[in-house]
Amino acid sequence: MGDIGQFLPMILIFVVAYFFMIRPQMKRQKDEKKFAAELKRGDRVITKSGLHGKVVELNEKDFSCILETMAGKLKFDRSAISMEMSKKLNAPEKK
């Protein structure tokens, strides 16, 4: 019992780190992949660099999309689109 007692604090630290850091990060990555896969034409999005645009074309071969912006059409990788900012952009306004 004494040997396990010495390692118990390390085991508890690992368990806490898993539930508060590792598991939420894995869930966030899964949600971002799902968001990128569910993009469709006409969606208004914001890239991670802050560029606003509307999806006009999706390419399944290289997992990219073409966004129409005020500057013209630009090609982006779907992973460059911010899930959180795009959801805020498309959320209904509160009055």
Verify that 28 and 54 share a domain, yes or no.
no
Higher pLDDT residue, 1 or 5?
A: 5
pLDDT tens column, 11-49: 999 999 888 998 999 999 999 889 888 888 988 999 988
Residue 79 sits in a domain whose CATH number is 2.30.30.140
pTM for the whole structure: 0.68
pLDDT tens column, 71-92: 899 999 998 998 878 777 777 7
Verify that 51 and 23 share a domain, yes or no.
no
Domain housing 4: 1-38
* Helices 83-90 & 23-37 angle (0-180, nearest 10): 60
- Count of all residues that appear for the chain in the document: 95
Verify that 14 and 53 share a domain, yes or no.
no
Residue 95 has pLDDT above 70, yes or no: no
Verify that 4 and 48 share a domain, yes or no.
no
Verify that 2 and 29 share a domain, yes or no.
yes
